[in-house]
Amino acid sequence: MRLRDLPSVDELARQSDDPLAVEVARKVVTRAREQIQQGGDPGDLGAQLQAELTSARAPHLRRAINATGVIVHTNLGRAPLADAALDRVREIAQGYSNLEYDLTAGGRGSRQDHVADVLRRLTGADAALVVNNNAAAVMLALAALAEGREVLVSRGELIEIGDGFRIPDVLERSGATLHEVGTTNRTRAADYETAIGPETAVLLRVHQSNFRVVGFTAQPSLRELADVAHRHGLPLVDDLGSGALVDFSDEPTARASLAAGADLVCFSGDKLLGGPQAGIVVGRADLVEKLRRHPLQRALRADKLTLAALEGTLALVIDAPDEIPVLRMLRESPEVVRARAARLAELVGGEVEETIAKAGGGALPLTELPSFACAVEEELAVKLRTGDPPVIAVVRDGRTLLDCRTLTDAEADEAAAAIAAARP
Ligand SMILES: *Cc1c(COP(=O)(O)O)cnc(C)c1O
């Protein structure tokens, strides 16, 4: 094709009655002109117009199938929600609700009241507050309790959690000043004790979520830290990160942290809790009230969809934890996972491969969950990833592994169909 044979943008756009046709035709013609100038052949412009229109109409945020074996996968949306939680979202989002309306008094109520009771019951706390995510929870706690004053943190806990979220930066943004104590590998209760001065407002403990320090190490227990803080009339804030509500492996629970003396505990809604993205703060009523009254609370608070999903998830924590997908995946027996992998392997002519799944989300970095994958040809990985729905697998030793711990039975069937479609 020569330049003068190119259709005009309008001519090409007339092949479709889609309102986006002119914009998309301009892109197709521009690209074709460049290809001709470089000596190439632009091909069938009408077909390109249709393909570009289809992709422009497709949602950009899409469901994906997680065959990586990383349960709380931050890049893949962390925690899938339980059906009961989704039902609550649909019910509340569909119409009006008592989000900030007190049905008994017939007047203004607080959005923070809906999940406070169940959080108190699950953690033993006096009070609770929910904000957008755990980074917001930590920031709000420090802003409300330590703005313009000092926060003591161990040098072993000045961590980066992911995507540049660093404790020292959050602390600075909250308006508090960081006072480092101890060393990277060893910090003692006495280090905090000697660092406390007239400017000290809070002792902060940060759970070493996504790494462990091993070897010549020392860390005060939470109870020792709480004793130091309370002797000086200061609050101890514990950033738990993952915040398990159900005992799992060596991950500390919010209840245990409060029982050991933490005054406020902050944790994520969409890590080991298995709910929506949220930051949950539980603890002493007077401190939670300070957070609630701080101007940042208004900017950081959770929306009604989050609160609905969280209430739905928290109800299951008590009654039916295995209906929460994250908890089911964490606790499912290796035999069940193996059976799923065997069925998938049979459907696609793959091989069952023993492997290791991970909790992810910066939780339990040393915990290896025994798992089983279905192994297929290496070259399928890209096609699976770019297919519909996308299937995200792991390439290892020249093969594509689909870890079956992070698949439901229905997703294993979808993965089988995707593999069949990806093969030449
Ligand atoms: C994950 C994590 C956070 C951040 O939580 P988000 O809910 O992702 O904002 C903060 N602190 C710790 C220790 C974490 O592990």
Q: What pLDDT sits at residue 208?
A: 82
Q: What pLDDT sits at residue 122?
A: 96
The minimum-distance atom of ligand 1 relative to the CA of 240 is 13
Q: What pLDDT sits at residue 153?
A: 96
Report the residue among 75, 153, 161, 270 best suited for mutation to probe ligand 1: largest number of ligand atoms under 8 A from its CB: 161
Residue 250 confidence (pLDDT) above 90:
no
The residue-averaged pLDDT of 248-264 equals 92
Q: What pLDDT sits at residue 51?
A: 94
Residue 251 confidence (pLDDT) above 90:
no
What residue owns the CA closest to ligand 1's atom 1? Answer: 241
Domains recognised in the chain with CATH numbers: 3-55 (no CATH), 65-74+326-422 (3.90.1150.180), 83-320 (3.40.640.10)
Asked if residue 362 has its Cβ within 6 Å of ligand 1, the reply is yes
Residue 364 confidence (pLDDT) above 90:
no
Q: What pLDDT sits at residue 211?
A: 73
Rg of the Cα atoms in the chain: 26
3-state helix, strand, coil in the chain (%, to 5): 45, 20, 35
Report the residue among 239, 251, 264, 310 best suited for mutation to probe ligand 1: largest number of ligand atoms under 8 A from its CB: 239
The answer to which of 41-45, 94-98, 349-353 has the lowest mean pLDDT is 41-45
Q: Kindly report the backbone phi and psi dihedral angles of residue 329, in degrees, each rounded to the nearest multiple of 5, phi listed first.
A: -65, -35
Residue 242 confidence (pLDDT) above 90:
no
Q: What is the dihedral of CA 180, 186, 189, 194, to 10 degrees?
A: -50
Asked if residue 360 has its Cβ within 6 Å of ligand 1, the reply is no
The residue-averaged pLDDT of 261-282 equals 97
Distance CA 397, CA 383 (A): 18
Q: What pLDDT sits at residue 310?
A: 98
pLDDT band at 27, cuts 50/70/90? very high
Q: What pLDDT sits at residue 214?
A: 84
pLDDT digits (tens, 9 = 90+) for 182-241: 998 999 999 999 999 999 999 999 998 777 788 888 899 999 999 999 999 999 999 999
pLDDT digits (tens, 9 = 90+) for 51-67: 999 999 999 999 999 99
> Residue 103 C-alpha to ligand 1 middle, in angstroms?
35
Residue 245 confidence (pLDDT) above 80:
yes
Percentage above 90 pLDDT, the chain: 87
Q: What pLDDT sits at residue 340?
A: 98
pLDDT digits (tens, 9 = 90+) for 302-316: 999 999 999 999 999
Instruction: Tell me how far the alpha carbon of residue 269 is from its chain's centroid.
Output: 8
Residue from 105, 125, 82, 74 nearest 308 by CA: 82
Q: 127 and 282 in contact (C-beta within 8 Å)?
A: yes
The residue-averaged pLDDT of 286-293 equals 98
Residue 381 confidence (pLDDT) above 80:
yes
The minimum-distance atom of ligand 1 relative to the CA of 278 is 7
Q: What pLDDT sits at residue 216?
A: 86
Residue 419 confidence (pLDDT) above 80:
yes
Residue 164 confidence (pLDDT) above 80:
no
pLDDT digits (tens, 9 = 90+) for 114-157: 999 999 999 999 999 999 999 999 999 999 999 999 999 999 99
What residue owns the CA closest to ligand 1's atom 5? Answer: 134
Residue 363 confidence (pLDDT) above 90:
no
Residue 263 confidence (pLDDT) above 80:
yes
The minimum-distance atom of ligand 1 relative to the CA of 277 is 7
b/e sequence 281-301, b meaning 16+ C-beta within 10 Å:
bbbbeebbebbbebebbeebb
What residue owns the CA closest to ligand 1's atom 15? Answer: 241
Q: What pLDDT sits at residue 347?
A: 98
Residue 252 DSSP label: P
The minimum-distance atom of ligand 1 relative to the CA of 137 is 9
The minimum-distance atom of ligand 1 relative to the CA of 162 is 1
Residue from 396, 403, 388 nearest 344 by CA: 403
Q: What mean pLDDT value characterizes the chain?
A: 95
Distance CA 228, CA 134 (A): 25
> Residue 269 C-alpha to ligand 1 middle, in angstroms?
10
Asked if residue 157 has its Cβ within 6 Å of ligand 1, the reply is no
